[in-house]
Amino acid sequence: MDTGADCPKFFGDKESVFDHYEVGHLDEDILGKGYFAVVRKGKCKKTGDIVAVKCIDKSKVEDKRKLLAEARILASFADHPRIVSMHGVYDSPEYLYIVMELMSKNNLFDEIIEREFLTEQQASTVIKQIFEALVFIHDQKVVHRDIKLENLLLKTKGDLSTIKVADFGLSKDCSLSMPKTAVGTPFYVSPDLLIAVEDGSPYTYAVDMWAMGILLFIVLSGRLPFTGEDDEELFDNILTANIVWKRPQFDNVSANAKDLISKLLCKDPACRPTAKEALQHPFITSNDGGQLHASLSSNLSKTLLKRQKPTTD
């Protein structure tokens, strides 16, 4: 994968984002906020197209060498229907600007909260789209490392068939070597990633598949498979990898759904299915499951409303 600055969408500091786009500066123009960046609504001066502009504050990034990682990864990607498209990257002394496809304000967390109810079939539709994105991402020799509800955006609010993967800020190009450092959001990190912190061993794309197991568990129940009073207790439980099917949320969940979760949350990363293999699982290929437990949305609010800042590389 070519991640050099000669990628056609990577303009660096040769041009200013403001030469090509009007970037909203009002509160109403803010589409989202994170620790490193604010995403604002923008408008292409040439076409009039409305876009999203991610404004990354360089002063909040400790390692400036890694600042361009997300931009270069996205710049190297061909457009994919399950990944938020990137139109251009512009650098400046204080900010890095990434111009992206405009999505609705809803991420998957917001969508589930607003809907209150999901069917298992809808959950299957959601998960399938993310597996499709991961097939492409992993084929590009990239590991995402931060798959979670908040990084899954809907192109059209209310339409669960328009989900796209976003936020490659913690992603890693693995074309030269596999990663060893601990990054990600604590609820979603895998045992092999935690072990890597202790012994310096590399981990693989399988960390994304573990995160998919966490995600599927949450989408089906609104609850987490592994919790703790603090990160230390949480990580101890993750390392144990003992899944408890929470009741009553999992009482009506199909055996196929539980089987896929069990495979994805296998402690041994070599035993987890790849994204391509997961797409062939019966939960994805032939799911006609019915209504999930009525407490899904309320559980999700209680469990995850307190967002956790991800650990950075």
Q: Is 146 a catalytic residue?
A: yes
238-243: long-range pairs with CB below 8 Å, 24+: 238/189, 238/190, 238/191, 238/194, 239/191, 239/194, 239/195, 239/267, 241/191, 241/265, 241/266, 241/267, 243/217
Q: Which of 2, 13, 91, 146 is catalytic?
A: 146
Backbone angles phi, psi at 111, to 5 degrees: -65, -45
**Any idea which residues carry the catalytic annotation?**
146
